[in-house]
Amino acid sequence: MRASLIFPTPRDDHAVLLLHGLSSTPVELRYLSRALAEEGITTHAPTLDGYSAGMGHAPMGQWIDAALAEFDALAARHEHVSVCGLSMGATLAAAVAQQRPNVRALLLLSITLNYDGWAIPWYRFLLDAVYFTPWRSRYRYREHTPYGVRNEALREKIARAMQRGDISEVGPAFITMPAIHEASRLAEAVNRKLNCIGADCLIIHAIDDETSSPHNARLVAASIKAPFLRTIWLDDSYHMIASDNEREVVARECTLFLRESAASSASCATPTPVVSRALARRLRQLSAVARKP
């Protein structure tokens, strides 16, 4: 069943295409969608054939084509179109920016180029090989605690949904082997062409991301050619930052960045890259602990 989140606004000059995570739904970006709409920015969070939950399985090239079609449809109606993605949706958003130089701004939330977080099972590296065996149609990766969230109340709610096999607000209980395989292919393809991205870029990543380590964000920041680049490190969230403890921070920083990107474009000014205070604060804390006898 196809279900998209669309929040139109009276001031319709800027739209944001929101891309959810692998095999999930637009619901995981609901809070951010509403927050952006309240600031006068139209948002569109579609379901994509072969990528979203309940939409079958397709090669990753079809994911990109579907996302590009959504972007082009928005670009035909709006003066400016930005792209925002969460998790593998951020990787897909980067793929769109690689092929559409008219992307106004690129917002990457918990971008996943490699599943290398602290909660990823040790056997993750074997899954690509399993894909080429008869087990590919039988194996399903089951989500487990902490389900991408640090907030304990939300985690309990998600756990109940997962136990029922339902789609929770942060994704599905299971991810199939074909989906995992195509996600790895997408990440590899995007990684090879990171230097082709020339849009203004906001990267938001949790220091304690259990699915994709901070290395993913650092790699993107070091490789892209964004004229305006801002990196925000969160210290009270896990992977699903659009739903976790700092979702208000994520929404505020996305809104602020979109405004500053538009303003810098209009004035032809070059903003100064920014790194948030959260990382510096965490490093100071770790340094203080290390100095204790």
> pLDDT per residue over 76-117, tens digit each?
999 999 999 999 999 999 999 999 999 999 999 999 999 999
Which of 24-28, 119-123, 143-147 holds the top average pLDDT? 24-28
Residue 157's pLDDT band, with cuts at 50, 70 and 90, is confident
- When the candidates are 3.40.1710.10, 3.40.50.1820, 3.50.50.60, 3.10.20.90, the CATH number that belongs to 5-117+180-291 is 3.40.50.1820
DSSP 21: -
End-to-end CA distance of the chain: 60
DSSP 168: B
Mean pLDDT, residues 259-288 taken together = 60
- Structure confidence at residue 111 (pLDDT): 98
Of residues 170 and 27, the one with the higher pLDDT is: 27
Mean pLDDT over the full length of the chain:
84
Of residues 69 and 288, the one with the higher pLDDT is: 69
* Cβ proximity of 115 and 211 under 8 Å: yes
DSSP 171: B
Q: In what order do the strands lie in the sheet with 274-275?
A: 5-7, 42-45, 14-19, 80-86, 105-109, 200-206, 229-234, 274-275
Residue 225's pLDDT band, with cuts at 50, 70 and 90, is very high
Mean pLDDT, residues 33-59 taken together = 92
Which of 54-63, 145-154, 239-248, 258-267 holds the top average pLDDT? 239-248
Of residues 118 and 65, the one with the higher pLDDT is: 65
Of residues 164 and 9, the one with the higher pLDDT is: 164
Sign of the four-CA dihedral 117, 118, 120, 125: positive
Residue 219's pLDDT band, with cuts at 50, 70 and 90, is very high
Provide the whole-model pTM. 0.85
Q: Could you give phi then psi for residue 284, rounded to 5 degrees? A: -65, -40
Q: pLDDT (tens digit, 9 = 90+) per residue, 174-208?
A: 688 888 889 999 999 999 999 999 999 999 999 99
- Structure confidence at residue 42 (pLDDT): 93
Q: Does 264 have pLDDT greater than 90? A: no
Nearest Cα residue to 86 out of 71, 64, 108, 55: 108
- Structure confidence at residue 1 (pLDDT): 40
What tokens does 211 get? Answer: 């699915």
